[in-house]
Amino acid sequence: MSLATTARVAALYVHPLKSAAGIRVDEITLDARGAVGDRRWVLAEANGDMITARETHRLVLIRPSFLTEDRNGGIRLTAPGLPPLTVPLDAIDLAAPTRLVRVWDDDVVAHDAGDVAAAWCTAATGRPCRLLRLADVDRRPLAPRFAGSIDPESRYVAMSDGAPLLLLGMASVDALNARLVERGHADVMDPRRFRANILLTGTRPHDEDTWRDIRIGQVSLSVGSACPRCVLTTVDPDTAESGQEPLRTFAQYRRADDGVIFGMNTTHREPGVIRVGDAVQVLSLRE
């Protein structure tokens, strides 16, 4: 039996290139790893360490788009002051040796997009880097803390920070912004700062923290651990400028053992499609 809720999907996002701008979409298709097209590309140093906007803020100004309708093909990248870069999949030598990119604690198998793409991304970010695409053969494991009540065995993820999906209620964003206004801040936080895949309406602040098993439309999901927030939330997605907020305000009311938390790591039980406007059913709460 589901618990009564008025929650619905307000917005959906995919982030093709890790730490770059997201794309707002009307629906997401879920494959074995997560939302199709989400975090399938990454920038890396020559030694294979990933590069993110935590330390390279200009990454948020790179805007990706898909070259194919299914979001599984190449990408097009734009950045201030540069001509667009188009990277079709057939421009990547899939027969060439793969490379390993370090995504937190995991070595992820990826294909290098070549020297032209590397030069463009280096110019866009201001630091030497290579553009890499997740290889189909990669098997990065899903960590149990992200799986909720779902068995993580034989489940894989792309190059997200860990969970296939990030879930966040707009009421939680509104509650943060109300605190910022009380503190005298004229600017409020755009939800894009929090890089969620699924934004919900019709909830109370932080309702999502209490959920365990849910259904969105026809897709069954389980809510795992809360998402620890980092300096990336302080980076303006339109200017790449950073400050102290919202981390300073989060520290007043969202502190946990591993830092400050906002949004919930979430895993889908099976492939499916989630659409804007889909109703959310809460099937069980956290113990």
**Mean pLDDT on 225-237:** 97
Please provide the size of the chain in residues: 287
CA-closest candidate to residue 285, choices 2, 44, 25: 2
The mean pLDDT of 12-17, rounded to a whole number, is: 98
Is the dihedral angle over the CA atoms 7, 13, 15, 20 positive or is it negative?
A: negative
Cβ-in-10-Å burial (0-12, 13-18, 19+) of 59 comes to: buried
The CA distance from 152 to 145, in Å, is 9
Copy the structure tokens of residue 198: 């699924």
pLDDT tens digits for range 56-114: 999 999 999 999 999 999 999 999 999 999 999 988 888 888 999 999 999 999 999 99
Mention every residue, 6+ apart, whose C-beta is less than 8 A from residue 143: 152, 162
Task: Read off the pLDDT of each residue in 203-230 and give the average, rounded to a whole number.
Answer: 98
Categorize the per-residue pLDDT at 123 as very low, low, confident or very high, splitting at 50, 70 and 90: very high
Asked whether residue 2 carries a pLDDT value surpassing 80, the answer given is no
Give the dihedral sign, CA 262/63/12/165.
Answer: negative
Annotate 150-161 with b (16+ C-beta within 10 A) or e (fewer): bebeebebbbbb
Model pTM?
0.97
Q: How deeply is 100 buried, as exposed, middle or buried, from its count of CB atoms within 10 A (0-12, 13-18, 19+)?
A: middle
SS3 state at 97 = coil
β-bridge partners, 220: 215
AA identity, residue 166: L
Whole-number average pLDDT of the chain = 96
Residue among 122, 123, 97, 135 at smallest CA distance from 46: 122
Given a cut of 70, whether residue 1 has pLDDT beyond it is no
Beta carbons within 10 angstroms of residue 5's beta carbon:
17
Amino acid, res. 40: R
For the CA atoms of 270, 274, 278, 284, what is the dihedral angle to 10 degrees?
Answer: 30
pLDDT of residue 94: 81
Q: What is the pLDDT of residue 84?
A: 98
What are the C-alpha distances in Å from 146 to residues 139, 167, 203, 276, 287? Answer: 16, 12, 22, 23, 16
pLDDT tens digits, one per residue of 146-202: 999 999 999 999 999 999 999 999 999 999 999 999 999 888 999 999 999 999 999
CATH 2.40.33.20 positions along the chain are: 8-34+142-285
| Whether the predicted pLDDT of 222 surpasses 60 | yes
Q: Where are the alpha helices (DSSP H) in 99-169?
A: 115-125
- Tens digit of each residue's pLDDT (9 = 90 or more) over 238-253: 999 999 999 999 999 9
Instruction: Kindly list the strands in the beta sheet with 75-78, ordered across the sheet, starting from the edge strand earlier in the chain.
Output: 63-66, 75-78, 85-87
Peptide bond into 246 cis (omega under 30): yes
Nearest Cα residue to 119 out of 77, 63, 174, 89:
77
Tell me the CATH number of domain 8-34+142-285, given options 2.40.33.20, 2.60.40.790, 3.65.10.10, 3.40.190.10: 2.40.33.20
Instruction: Show the DSSP H helices in the chain as ranges.
Output: 115-125, 170-182, 247-253
CA 56, CA 249: separation in Å to the nearest integer? 23
